[in-house]
Amino acid sequence: MSRRGNCYDYAPMESFWGTLKNDRVYHRGYATREQVRQEISEYIELFYNRQRRHSRLGNCLPATVAQQWARQPPAA
Protein backbone atom coordinates (compact mmCIF):
# COMPACT_ATOMS: atom_id res chain seq x y z
CA MET A 1 0.00 0.00 0.00
CA SER A 2 2.78 2.44 0.80
CA ARG A 3 6.44 2.32 1.60
CA ARG A 4 8.03 -0.70 3.22
CA GLY A 5 7.97 -0.67 6.99
CA ASN A 6 4.76 1.33 7.40
CA CYS A 7 3.06 -0.57 10.21
CA TYR A 8 -0.38 0.89 9.41
CA ASP A 9 -0.57 -0.67 5.94
CA TYR A 10 -2.19 -3.88 7.05
CA ALA A 11 -4.31 -2.61 9.95
CA PRO A 12 -7.62 -2.50 8.01
CA MET A 13 -7.18 -6.04 6.65
CA GLU A 14 -6.04 -7.41 10.00
CA SER A 15 -9.14 -5.89 11.58
CA PHE A 16 -11.37 -7.45 8.91
CA TRP A 17 -9.82 -10.91 9.28
CA GLY A 18 -10.15 -10.71 13.06
CA THR A 19 -13.82 -9.77 12.75
CA LEU A 20 -14.47 -12.54 10.23
CA LYS A 21 -12.82 -15.17 12.39
CA ASN A 22 -14.64 -14.08 15.53
CA ASP A 23 -18.03 -13.80 13.83
CA ARG A 24 -17.90 -16.96 11.71
CA VAL A 25 -14.89 -19.21 11.64
CA TYR A 26 -14.28 -19.88 15.33
CA HIS A 27 -17.92 -20.62 16.13
CA ARG A 28 -18.73 -23.12 13.39
CA GLY A 29 -17.57 -26.46 12.10
CA TYR A 30 -17.16 -27.03 8.37
CA ALA A 31 -17.25 -30.34 6.53
CA THR A 32 -15.79 -29.18 3.19
CA ARG A 33 -13.81 -26.33 1.70
CA GLU A 34 -16.80 -25.48 -0.49
CA GLN A 35 -18.91 -25.01 2.63
CA VAL A 36 -16.26 -22.62 4.01
CA ARG A 37 -16.15 -20.66 0.74
CA GLN A 38 -19.94 -20.38 0.66
CA GLU A 39 -20.19 -19.29 4.30
CA ILE A 40 -17.46 -16.67 4.00
CA SER A 41 -18.86 -15.32 0.72
CA GLU A 42 -22.30 -14.96 2.28
CA TYR A 43 -20.81 -13.31 5.36
CA ILE A 44 -18.93 -10.74 3.30
CA GLU A 45 -21.62 -9.99 0.71
CA LEU A 46 -24.77 -10.26 2.81
CA PHE A 47 -23.72 -9.29 6.32
CA TYR A 48 -20.40 -7.41 6.46
CA ASN A 49 -21.00 -5.19 3.42
CA ARG A 50 -24.74 -4.58 3.97
CA GLN A 51 -25.89 -5.14 7.54
CA ARG A 52 -22.98 -4.84 9.97
CA ARG A 53 -22.58 -1.40 11.52
CA HIS A 54 -19.13 0.06 10.90
CA SER A 55 -17.52 2.49 13.33
CA ARG A 56 -15.73 4.14 10.41
CA LEU A 57 -19.17 5.08 9.01
CA GLY A 58 -20.40 6.55 12.28
CA ASN A 59 -21.97 3.23 13.31
CA CYS A 60 -24.32 3.38 10.34
CA LEU A 61 -25.21 0.51 8.07
CA PRO A 62 -23.17 0.46 4.84
CA ALA A 63 -26.39 0.18 2.80
CA THR A 64 -27.74 3.36 4.44
CA VAL A 65 -24.53 5.27 3.73
CA ALA A 66 -24.57 4.08 0.10
CA GLN A 67 -28.18 5.23 -0.31
CA GLN A 68 -27.38 8.65 1.17
CA TRP A 69 -24.36 8.99 -1.10
CA ALA A 70 -26.40 8.01 -4.17
CA ARG A 71 -29.04 10.68 -3.39
CA GLN A 72 -26.49 13.50 -3.34
CA PRO A 73 -26.56 15.74 -6.39
CA PRO A 74 -23.54 15.40 -8.69
CA ALA A 75 -20.70 17.81 -8.10
CA ALA A 76 -20.46 20.59 -10.64
pLDDT for 8 equals 66
Residue 7 neighbours by CB distance under 10 Å: 6
pLDDT for 24 equals 82
Domain boundaries, the chain: 11-71
pLDDT for 7 equals 66
Spatial neighbors of 47 by CB under 8 A, at least 6 apart, are: 23
- Residue 47 sits at the vertex; the CA angle it makes with 40 and 45, to the nearest 5 degrees, is 60
Cα separation, 59 vs 52, whole angstroms = 9
List per-block mean pLDDT (blocks of 10 residues) for the chain, which spans 76 residues.
65 82 84 91 82 76 80 78
Q: Is 3 helix (H, G, I), strand (E, B) or coil?
A: coil
Whole-structure pTM value:
0.56
